[in-house]
């Protein structure tokens, strides 16, 4: 989703999506100043203000269908609206382009549309579509938000390198080593690219619990490993 971001040191940041505006600042006073400045500017330019949709400074609000909580540092989807919308598609056999546009607007990362002459024309929904809907429903039951910026957890930096005989992985917290012939004889004769990638996979298995919710930066000199990791 595209938008325009403007930053004013005295009034905070302004995020504009067509006719939706968001003011972001470090404290209540600056946020209120930014909101008043924005409203004054819009009225001078001749725009109407939807006062029923206007919210003052707050630590939690829903913007463009996403709940933003600056206190818990999370972004989340409104459970009631999304769950109701998704469950309606589990048994639906046909849907219009407009209905699918509404669905993809909620999910924001899935393109389910096919070329149609009119927005209200309907297409047949395949079984794979309903399987995707079931996946989203199950996912939202266990994961509906993510941390914006957890300042108390530093990123994990890992260096990895591999040779024909073995591979090594090291972070600032721990290290690991694997001897291919002894520990994993099934890939002892494999290409070096396989071994480079396997070293990262083994590191993930070993340290996954301590990496949960953290950014992981991997340094490698192998292009195949780089591609797979990303």
Tokens of 191: 């290409």
Digits of tens for pLDDT over the chain (230 positions)? 444 445 555 555 656 666 788 888 888 888 888 888 888 888 888 888 888 888 888 888 888 777 788 887 777 766 666 666 677 777 778 888 777 777 776 665 434 334 445 666 676 777 777 887 887 777 777 665 665 555 556 788 889 888 889 999 998 888 989 999 999 898 888 888 889 988 988 888 888 888 877 788 888 888 887 777 76
Q: How far apart are CA 95 and CA 92, in angstroms?
A: 7
This prediction has a pTM of 0.40
Give burial (CB, 10 Å; 0-12/13-18/19+) of 168: middle
What local confidence, expressed as pLDDT, does residue 179 receive? Answer: 93
pLDDT for residue 150 = 52
- pLDDT given at position 147: 58
90-96, Cβ contacts within 8 angstroms, sequence gap of 24 or more? 90/130, 90/133, 90/134, 90/137, 92/125, 93/124, 93/125, 94/122, 94/123, 94/124, 94/125, 95/122, 95/123, 95/125, 96/120, 96/121, 96/122
Q: Which domains does the chain have, with CATH numbers?
A: 4-57 (no CATH), 79-147 (no CATH), 156-229 (3.10.20)
């Amino acid at each position: 989703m595209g938008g325009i971001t403007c930053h004013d040191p005295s009034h905070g940041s302004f995020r504009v999506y067509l006719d939706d505006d968001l003011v972001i600042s470090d404290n209540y006073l600056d946020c209120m100043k930014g909101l008043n400045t924005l409203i004054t500017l819009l009225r001078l330019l001749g725009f109407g203000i939807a006062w029923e949709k206007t919210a003052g400074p707050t630590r939690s609000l829903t913007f463009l269908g996403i709940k933003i909580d600056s206190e818990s540092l999370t972004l989340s989807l409104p459970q009631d609206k999304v769950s109701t919308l998704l469950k309606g598609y589990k048994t639906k056999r046909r849907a219009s382009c407009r209905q699918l546009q509404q669905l993809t607007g909620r999910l924001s990362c899935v393109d389910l549309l096919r070329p149609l002459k009119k927005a209200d024309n309907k297409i047949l929904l395949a079984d794979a579509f309903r399987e995707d809907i079931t996946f989203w429903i199950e996912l939202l039951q266990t994961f509906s938000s993510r941390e914006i910026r957890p300042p108390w957890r530093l990123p994990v930096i890992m260096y990895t390198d591999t040779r024909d005989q073995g591979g090594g992985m090291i972070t600032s917290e721990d290290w690991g080593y694997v001897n291919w012939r002894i520990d994993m004889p099934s890939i002892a004769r494999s290409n070096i690219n396989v071994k480079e990638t396997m070293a990262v996979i083994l590191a993930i298995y070993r340290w996954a619990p301590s990496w949960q919710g953290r950014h992981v930066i991997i340094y490698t000199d192998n292009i195949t490993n780089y591609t797979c990791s990303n």
